[in-house]
Amino acid sequence: MNAFIPYGRQLIEDDDEAAVVAALRSDFLTQGPATRTFEDELAAYVGARYCVAVSSATAGLHIAMAALDLGPGEGVTSPNTFVATSNAMAYVGLEPVFADVDPDTGNLSLAAVREAINDRTRVIAPVHFGGLPADMEGFATLAGERGVSVVEDAAHAIGSEYVSGGRVGNGRFSSMTVFSFHPVKSMTTGEGGAITTNDPALHEALMMLRSHGITRDPARLADAPGAWWYEQQMLGFNYRMTDIQAALGASQLRKLDRFRDRRLAIIARYRAGLSDLAWLNLPPDTGTQTVCWHLFVARFDFEAIGRTRAEVMAALAGEGVGSQVHYIPVYRQPWYVARQGDRSGRFPDTEAWYARCLSLPLYPAMTDEDADRVIAAVRGLG
């Protein structure tokens, strides 16, 4: 019997295991030299000046917002994402404001953000949905015009490049960029995240915020009586990454481009096998732009094939093919409805996306035979 094909999963190889074992046998299990190595290599990979590794992308989004010290106000972001993006705003006292998405990409719409932004807006947080970068040139220009900050949620987009070139996270268009290394992402640290920035003051704040707000830096200590002295100078958190995780992350990062190329090969196979189906819309072809796709989100005309989404997912599972929905719009979540009311009618393109989206399997360990099984299962629906 054929093995079940999940919508996403990690690829752990012998060198990854060896890196973790080496960390386990070292003098450091919590944050130590392996974490610094991972940060240095990740910063160099994306082309940023600084990198701060953290326990999760959610932690990264939280302290990115905190480091900006935005005060009361609002933040604008996408509803087509995981709840962590808007939650990070709420953590620091900002009111999350959602703007509609582009109907073709699922990314935050620049036009919709222009309508949503106001004098209370303090930050814009575009989400690079599925790995496809949002219109960062446009958002950076808008932010400059309105005097607001930009934080990129690149949880999906490690290894992707902007339309104008350069890797996501290089700091050209934002104050900070946040990555995720959850097991279903393009590379993993088991659980974990990272923030990149080119701003030395933000880097220093991030380093303190991830570790209780504590510093041992002599330059920040007015009258230290000895090398043992430390001070808590702000309210921080315990958001550190362990050296075990960082060792895995550095190993994975060194082969991320190979993982990306395998994902692109699978997508090319999907396009060849599914593009003729009138009831199925595939993700946009980005041409020469390099995109490290985390998700392959197809949009189904469920009415045309006479099945509900639940029935489609059950039929695919019956053929050994996993699928997932990305995402339930954040404003539909009970906490947000209780806080902001029912806002579903305000976001027609997000609602249209949610009504039809379904993520098909995409991960580098997939074989061509696996991809062909997915294609056959999807074609069998119509």
What is the CATH number for 175? 3.40.640.10
Report which secondary-structure segment, H or E, holds 54. strand 50-54
Q: Are residues 305 and 335 in the same domain?
A: yes
Q: What is the pLDDT of residues 112-131, one digit of tens each?
A: 999 999 999 999 999 999 99
Chain mean pLDDT for the chain: 97
Residue 298 contacts residue 282 (beta carbons within 8 Å): yes
Q: Are residues 273 and 195 in the same domain?
A: no
Supply the range of the domain harboring residue 310: 256-379
Assigned domain for 81 exists: yes
Domain final position from 189, 223, 253: 253
Peptide bond into 230 cis (omega under 30): no
Assigned domain for 3 exists: no
**How many Cβ atoms are within 10 Å of 86's Cβ, its own excluded?**
29
Residue 267: CATH number of its domain: 3.90.1150.10
Which pTM does this prediction carry? 0.97
Return the active site residues: 185
The pLDDT of residue 2 is 87
The pLDDT of residue 36 is 98
The pLDDT of residue 1 is 66
Assigned domain for 103 exists: yes
Domain count for the chain, please give it: 2
Q: What is the pLDDT of residues 222-263, one digit of tens each?
A: 888 888 889 999 999 999 999 999 999 999 999 999 999 999
Q: What is the pLDDT of residues 335-358, one digit of tens each?
A: 999 999 999 899 999 999 999 999
Q: Are residues 101 and 205 in the same domain?
A: yes
The pLDDT of residue 84 is 98
Q: Are residues 169 and 261 in the same domain?
A: no
Cβ contacts of 277 within 8 Å, gap of 6 or more: 378, 379, 382
> What proportion of the chain, given as a percentage, has pLDDT over 70?
100
Q: What is the pLDDT of residues 265-318, one digit of tens each?
A: 999 999 999 999 999 999 999 988 999 999 999 999 999 999 999 999 999 999
Q: Are residues 234 and 262 in the same domain?
A: no
| Average pLDDT, integer, range 102-106 | 97
